[in-house]
Amino acid sequence: MNSNSPMECEKDRQLDELLNAYRSACPDFEPGASFMPGIWARIDEREVSTNWFGRIAKTLVTAAVAASAILALMLSSFNHQTFNHQAAEFLNGTFVEALRADQVAELEPFHVDHIAELEQQ
Amino acid sequence: MLVEFDLIQRAQKGDAGAFNQVVTAYRRRIMGTISRLIGRPEDVEDVAQEVFIRLYFSLEQLRTPEVFEPWLYRLTVNASYDYLRKSRRRLESRMSDLSEQQVMMADAAAGSRQQSEDGEKRRVRDQVQNLLASVSDEDRILLTLKEVEGLSLKELEKIYQVNENALKVRLFRARQRVLKNMKDVTPPLARTAKSNDTP
């Protein structure tokens, strides 16, 4: 990394010199009278806008929570009603009806027409 | 450190007077750094205000006194980056709005301002700023912090949050890129000596 030619070393030295001279060539900055009041004015401005955004965000979060709670309540009452209806049917039916209802689901994929066609062949 | 940690702790607790003292202690140093990072004196105060505003809003996160200064430098570097990004966009749109004649008039006005300043210092500033403008913002800021501001590698480690070896490599590469663009730069001291010799 450091195996530079004499010309490169000279350039390197010139750059160092230039950067050192640059530091002293830069003027010192004296802040104006409005520097501190300006900072506080901008801080206040940001605090106001942050509070405004905060309030909006809070309102939105509250509304979202309320909507979720309402939806959850609606869903749970709907499920409850459906479940009650199915449970009542099951409990009120006879043992034979319950068995039939259970077997209908298993028999459904078979089609009588198809079996008849097969028999004809 | 330019202030006691106790003062920073008071500022953290919302003491406006303590915060004012912290700003007063650091403002000249920070403004000097910003002027060398962005190269536009007219906007230094604005960027410095932004640095201290960011400090105000992030002060409560500070836990140890050792990291205060590197942290302040980090805020300075970030605010300077943001400014450079914004001003580049602004300049592009502004220049596209101006006619050729208006651009020439703006150049002439800037030229006459330059003449009124101290010649040699102005020349060095222009030379370095032109040289550093030929590399990326990242290279320029890193080199300025190390070579002009005189920050140590340890301090830079805290600012950039990378290890020393990675920093050395980045510095070496940044320097190489600057050297590549440094063709017809006359060393300032040699020039000064030459100008002193002439009657």
Question: Helix (H) and strand (E) counts for chain A?
Answer: 4, 0
Domain end call among B97, B132, B167 = B97
**B67 and B121 belong to one structural domain:** no
The pLDDT assigned to B30 comes to 94
Give the C-alpha separation, B40 to B91, whole Å. Answer: 13
Distance from chain centroid for Cα B26: 15
CATH of the domain at B139: 1.10.10.10
Q: Is residue A10 part of a domain?
A: no
Indicate the average pLDDT of chain B.
Answer: 82
The pLDDT assigned to B196 comes to 43
**B82 and B141 belong to one structural domain:** no
What residues of chain B lie within 8 A of the CB of A32, using their CB?
45
pLDDT at B190 over 50: no
Pick the residue of A8, A14, A47 with the most B CBs within 10 A to test the interface with B by mutation: A14
Q: Is residue B127 part of a domain?
A: yes
**B85 and B148 belong to one structural domain:** no
**Contact (CB, 8 A) for A43 and B52:** no
Span B129-140, pLDDT tens digits:
888 888 898 999
With an 8 Å Cβ cutoff, are B56 and A43 in contact?
yes
The pLDDT assigned to B21 comes to 94
Please check whether residue A87 touches B, CB under 8 A.
Answer: no
The pLDDT assigned to B90 comes to 66
The pLDDT assigned to B123 comes to 87
Q: Is residue B86 part of a domain?
A: yes
**B19 and B60 belong to one structural domain:** yes
Q: Give me the domain span that covers residue A113.
A: 37-120
Pick the residue of B28, B51, B52 with the most A CBs within 10 A to test the interface with A by mutation: B52
**B148 and B69 belong to one structural domain:** no
pLDDT mean over B150-161: 90
With an 8 Å Cβ cutoff, are B45 and A46 in contact?
no
**B128 and B58 belong to one structural domain:** no
The pLDDT assigned to B191 comes to 46
Give the C-alpha separation, B38 to B56, whole Å. Answer: 22
Q: How deeply is B122 buried, as exposed, middle or buried, from its count of CB atoms within 10 A (0-12, 13-18, 19+)?
A: middle
Token digits of residue A101: 């209802």
Q: Is residue B185 part of a domain?
A: yes
Q: Is residue B50 part of a domain?
A: yes
What residues of chain A lie within 8 A of the CB of B189, using their CB?
17, 21
Please check whether residue A10 touches B, CB under 8 A.
Answer: no
**B3 and B55 belong to one structural domain:** yes
A73 — alpha (psi -120 to 50), left (phi > 0) or beta? Answer: alpha
With an 8 Å Cβ cutoff, are B125 and A26 in contact?
yes
Span B58-72, pLDDT tens digits:
998 888 878 899 999
Q: Is residue B108 part of a domain?
A: no
**B127 and B180 belong to one structural domain:** yes
Q: Is residue B111 part of a domain?
A: no
- Select from B134, B34, B11 the least CA-distant residue to B80: B34
pLDDT at B198 over 60: no
The pLDDT assigned to B62 comes to 87
The pLDDT assigned to B94 comes to 55
Give the C-alpha separation, B88 to B92, whole Å. Answer: 6
Q: Given B23, B36, B53, which is nearest A26 (Cβ)?
A: B36
**B76 and B139 belong to one structural domain:** no
Q: What are the C-alpha distances in Å from B99 to residues A117, B93, B96?
A: 89, 12, 8
Q: Is residue A28 part of a domain?
A: no
The pLDDT assigned to B195 comes to 43
Instruction: Return the percentage of chain B with pLDDT > 70, whole number.
Output: 77
Please state the domain count of chain B. 2
Q: Is residue A46 part of a domain?
A: yes
CA-based nearest distance A58→chain B, Å: 21
The pLDDT assigned to A1 comes to 47
What value does the CA radius of gyration of chain A take, rounded to a whole number of Å? 42
Q: Given B23, B53, B178, which is nearest A46 (Cβ)?
A: B53
pLDDT at B108 over 60: no
What residues of chain B lie within 8 A of the CB of A37, using their CB?
none
**Contact (CB, 8 A) for B158 and B80:** no
Q: Which residues of chain A have pLDDT under 70?
A: 1-4, 80, 82-91, 93, 101-121
Q: What are the C-alpha distances in Å from B51 to residues A36, B22, B77?
A: 12, 12, 9
The pLDDT assigned to A107 comes to 58
Please check whether residue A22 touches B, CB under 8 A.
Answer: yes
CA-based nearest distance A16→chain B, Å: 8
Q: Is residue B149 part of a domain?
A: yes
The pLDDT assigned to A90 comes to 65
**B1 and B83 belong to one structural domain:** yes
Q: Give me the domain span that covers residue B63.
A: 1-97
The pLDDT assigned to B124 comes to 87
Span B89-99, pLDDT tens digits:
666 655 555 55
CB pairs under 8 A between A and B: 95
**B93 and B121 belong to one structural domain:** no
The pLDDT assigned to A100 comes to 73
CATH of the domain at B49: 1.10.1740.10
Q: Is residue A13 part of a domain?
A: no
Token digits of residue B76: 């300075």
Span B9-48, pLDDT tens digits:
999 988 999 999 999 999 999 999 999 898 888 899 999 9
Burial A6-37 (b: 16+ CB within 10 A, else e): eeeeebbebbebbbbbbbebbeebebeeebbe
Q: Is residue B103 part of a domain?
A: no
Please state the domain count of chain A. 1
**Contact (CB, 8 A) for B176 and A5:** no
Q: Is residue A3 part of a domain?
A: no
pLDDT at B185 over 60: no
pLDDT band at B193 (very low <50, low <70, confident <90, very high): very low
Residue-by-residue DSSP string for chain B: --S-HHHHHHHHTT-HHHHHHHHHHHHHHHHHHHHHHH--GGGHHHHHHHHHHHHHHHGGG---GGGHHHHHHHHHHHHHHHHHHHHHHHHHHHHHHS-HHHHHHHHHHHHHHHHTS-HHHHHHHHHHHHHHHTS-HHHHHHHIIIIIS---HHHHHHHHTS-HHHHHHHHHHHHHHHHHH-SSPPPHHHHHHHHHH--
**B90 and B130 belong to one structural domain:** no
Nearest CA in chain B to A26: B125
